[in-house]
Amino acid sequence: MQFPQLLPRRQTIASALALGFVGRQVRAQPTGEENPWPSLAQQIFKGRPVADSNAILSIDAPYRAEDAAVVPIGLHRLLPDDDTRRIKTITLVIDENPSPVAAAFSLGENSGIRNISTRVRVDSYTKIHAVATMADGSLLATERFVKAAGGCSAPAAKQEAGSVPPVTMRFRQFTPAPGATSREVQLMIWHPNYSGMQMDQVSRLYVPALFIATVHIWQGDDLLLGIESGVSISENPTFRFDYRPNGAAEFRAEVTDSDGKTFKESWSATRA
């Protein structure tokens, strides 16, 4: 599976669902190994070595989540500005989730992104891993433990599969601190992101999976952030990150869901 790269939609969906099934098998096998991460890392990264490193990335997450369906996650690049190494992709893995790969974030080459935050579903007490794919091809990982359970099957705000409205987006631009060279933005997507594990409380049938599959955000013609996501991302996905302004007059976003629908929107850049 090549999930850390930006894949065509159908291949991404197949990979995410297949990994979810394989992840269940790994945990069900009586191998005597309680920690699923070594097997998951082998499957996700095709046997490539993944080294532990807390000097490249860090993860912010609550030790005990208030709501397992909406667990805040922060990913932080720790490389100093004068470090010539570059992170190309950050893969977020929730080890004990039915579909462990929550998202893969591809950082634009000139984006200047140092921090990314989102919200995820957590199905049981688990370690969360963030794996940086470096420009030289090496893989460096860090981890965080979170206590939460039941997030993947928690009822969504809208239970009927036919009631999903067209995707709507809101793009927020934050006022920078005085003298700051970077700025922050947040893309909010109104979508139930059905996991396929939620039960309709009226029909008692499971709501079919329907989720945001890809997100691309541009500053002018420069790609800031590409995201491959799946059912472990919370309802109404939100992605907040910092970036380096390039003087472009607008931002653009393109979103696709797992049914192949594409949604596009643009916003004028605000001036500090």
* pLDDT digits 0-9 by tens, 209-219: 999 999 999 99
Residue 143 has pLDDT above 50, yes or no: yes
Calculate the alpha carbon distances from 22 to 36, 134, 137, 207, 214 in Å.
Answer: 11, 26, 25, 22, 22
* Confidence band of 139 (pLDDT split at 50, 70, 90): very high
Residue 45 resides in a domain: yes
Burial of 107 (0-12, 13-18, 19+ CB in 10 A): buried
- Looking at the chain, the number of H-run helices and the number of E-run strands are 2, 15
Residue 1 resides in a domain: no
Q: Residue 151 belongs to what domain range?
A: 9-268
CA-wise closest residue to 238 among 167, 163, 170: 170
Residue 105 resides in a domain: yes
Q: Note the pLDDT tens digit of each residue in 63-82.
A: 999 999 999 999 999 998 88
Q: What is the CATH number of the domain that holds 58?
A: 2.60.40.2470
Question: How high is the pLDDT of residue 163?
Answer: 57
Q: Residue 130: how many CB atoms within 10 A of its CB?
A: 25
Beta bridge partners of 64: 147
Q: What is the helix (H) or strand (E) element at residue 44, kind and residue range?
A: helix 37-44
d(CA 145, CA 61): 8
Residue 2 resides in a domain: no
Q: How many separate domains does the chain show?
A: 1
Residue 4 resides in a domain: no
